[in-house]
Amino acid sequence: MSDVGANKLAKTSLHEEHIRLDGKMVPFAGFDMPVQYSAGALKEYHVVRDDGAGLFDISHMGQVRVTGADSLKFLQYVTTNDVSKVVDGQVQYSGLLNTEGTFIDDITTYRISGNEYYLCINAANRHKDVAHLQEKAAHFDVAVADESDDTTLLALQGAKAQSMLQPLVDTDLESIGYYKFAQVHVNRKTAIISRTGYTGEDGFEIYIPNSIAVEVWRQLLAGGAGPIGLAARDMLRTEMGYALYGHEISAAVTPVEAKLMWITRLEKGDFIGRNAVIARKAEGPKKRLIALKLTGRGIPREHYKVYVDGKESGEITSGMHSPMAGGVALAYVKPEHAESGELSVVIRNKHVPAERTTTPFVRSNVRR
């Protein structure tokens, strides 16, 4: 991918391919990205959900390689999860916190070996994350290298993802389990392929050199994959209730509020933000994240106000009309309203009734 001047949008290696496919381009995390293609977001959504496979350019995400004798020790200190539990070829979901215990980012950690790890970070946080990691690395025998500009990241998601990807790969994809990865060859180039994703469907994330990005993209489309833009991707992840930085996760919340204590291993020893998280856990969350479903008509959108028993309690962080589940949303509300009280969402100045529910809003089809 390429970074350009501060006032211009960066472009991924596949930018011209999106234009060729009539992608509707919009600014996103500093990049010019396709929000949808000519078929429209709803049809793209169904390509992924309805027994097909969708192809996403997610090269705006950042990639960081951590190497050196202190790699494990370093990552134990800068991330929330217990990296010592990860074996070679395994992926771990984790977080980066500041000293106040709130989120710098959420990330995935790939263990290549005990002395080498690969991190995937959010696009909007790339430079902030890298600066943070490199600052902390000064106290360890590690090197932190930002490989984002040299890497194309694709996601192939849906029931037919494996059969579509297999002809391009020199490894049996059946051997890659959920949240596992393999270093393989794609078109004679070294790549990382992981059985991970952001859609709730089976599929893979594919890290390849920019030099083969266009040919791999075209091969997968020729094999039957449909191109998918940002709008459908957000629909798919919202239906799963997956957190998104800047929405459910931010510098305003700790793992206690965000329901992410399951990736925050206090027992592993010291890490950045640990003491603040312990204190917040003891005093209780300032607000709590809930899942809700409208019982009246309307579409819940981000920032719409949530009321409980007729009083304002919080607001929606992610919301949509799900083709399968109707009006669904994630929202932060006051702690005392997380489990009881009559819910409503204000839509066009009207209170639309809602009920608490659980995620995912629709069935997950990931292979575990």
List pLDDT tens digits, range 124-134. Answer: 999 999 999 99
Residue with tokens 């799900």: 322
Q: What span, in angstroms and rounded, lies between the C-alpha atoms of 71 and 11?
A: 31
Close Cβ partners of 8 (under 8 Å, ≥ 6 residues apart): none
Amino acid in the structure at residue 10: A
pLDDT, residue 100, reads: 98
Distances 212 to 13, 76, 98, 161, 223 between C-alpha atoms, Å:
9, 34, 37, 19, 16
What the block records as the tokens of 269 is 């020893």
pLDDT at 303: 98
pLDDT digits (tens, 9 = 90+) for 163-194: 999 999 999 999 999 999 999 999 999 999 99
Domains along the chain with CATH numbers = 15-60+149-240 (3.30.1360.120), 287-357 (2.40.30.110)
Q: Give the model's pLDDT for residue 4.
A: 45
Report DSSP state, residue 156: E
Cβ neighbours for 143, distance < 8 A, ≥ 6 positions apart: 66, 67, 68, 137
pLDDT digits (tens, 9 = 90+) for 18-34: 999 999 999 999 999 99
295 has pLDDT over 90 = yes
Which residues, in sequence order, are bridge partners of residue 314?
A: 306
pLDDT greater than 60 at residue 6: no
| Cα gap 35→70, rounded to integer Å | 41
Tally Cβ neighbours within 10 Å of residue 138. Answer: 8
- Identify the burial level of 27 via C-beta atoms within 10 angstroms of its C-beta, where 0-12 means exposed, 13-18 middle and 19 or more buried: exposed
Report which of 206, 199, 196 is spatially closest to residue 169, judged by C-alpha positions: 206
State which amino acid sits at residue 115.
N
Band (pLDDT 50/70/90 cuts) for residue 368 is: confident
- Both tokens assigned to 125: 């946080």
Per-residue model confidence as pLDDT tens digits over 71-101: 999 999 999 999 999 999 999 999 999 999 9
What digits encode the pLDDT tens for the residues 253-269?
999 999 999 999 999 99
Mean pLDDT within 99-113: 98
- Provide the pLDDT confidence category of residue 2 given band limits of 50, 70 and 90: very low
How far apart are the C-alpha atoms of 56 and 63, rounded to whole Å?
17
Binned at pLDDT 50, 70 and 90, residue 7 comes out as low
